[in-house]
Copies of this chain bind each other. A is one copy, B any other.
Amino acid sequence: MSEERKLTEAIVSELSRSLIEIAWHFGPKGLRGECCDDLTMPEFIALEKVSMTPDCPVQVVGHPLGFTKSGATRIVNRLARKGLIDKVKSPQDARICCVVITEKGERILRSANSRYMQKFKELLAKVPPETVPEVMKTVTVMARSLKR
């Protein structure tokens, strides 16, 4: 392996390690108790999916999370119990359960989102401001590529 190649490996290694650290801190334990109603990370992702998908079927809620339909049912029920979403039988197809976000859900989602943003801003404050747009572009592209 060439010297240059080794250097690249080292860079990618550190980069991926750093990202994992960020992932963990933003992750399952990241928002604990810091947000109203104690929304966990998967709950946040699920709620966001519901808010962005009109008449969202239960299974679809599980997609961005990589859950089985069983897991999807459970997280949907949890959010429903908390009053953040409603389950409505579809008029077109009675098998399908349209999940819709409630007023309270919208409020909580906004609140949780701003919490995450706060956390993220604290991070951004430590990097040179002129690089922020570049970083944003990159992160966005990476995130988008995950969706396929």
Contacts and interface: CB of A to CB of B under 8 A. Distances in A.
Contacts of A20: 26, 41, 44-45, 116
B12 A120 contact: yes
Interface of A: 9, 11-29, 41-42, 44-45, 48, 64-66, 113, 116-117, 119-124, 126-127, 131, 133-147
A124 to B, nearest CB: 7
Contact of A124 (B12, B21, B48): B12
Given A136-B11, A139-B22, A119 B27 contact: no
A53 B77 CA distance: 43
Given A13-B117, A16-B119, A27 B27 contact: yes
B135 A138 contact: yes
Given A11-B136, A18-B140, A23-B41, 11 more contacts: A11-B133, A15-B140, A17-B116, A18-B144, A21-B45, A22-B143, A123-B142, A123-B145, A126-B142, A127-B142, A131-B137
Number of copies: 2
Label chain A's interface by main secondary structure: helix
Contacts of A127: 137-138, 141-142
18 contacts: A9-B117, A12-B121, A16-B113, A16-B117, A17-B143, A18-B139, A18-B142, A18-B144, A19-B120, A19-B139, A20-B116, A24-B41, A27-B27, A29-B66, A123-B145, A126-B141, A127-B137, A127-B138
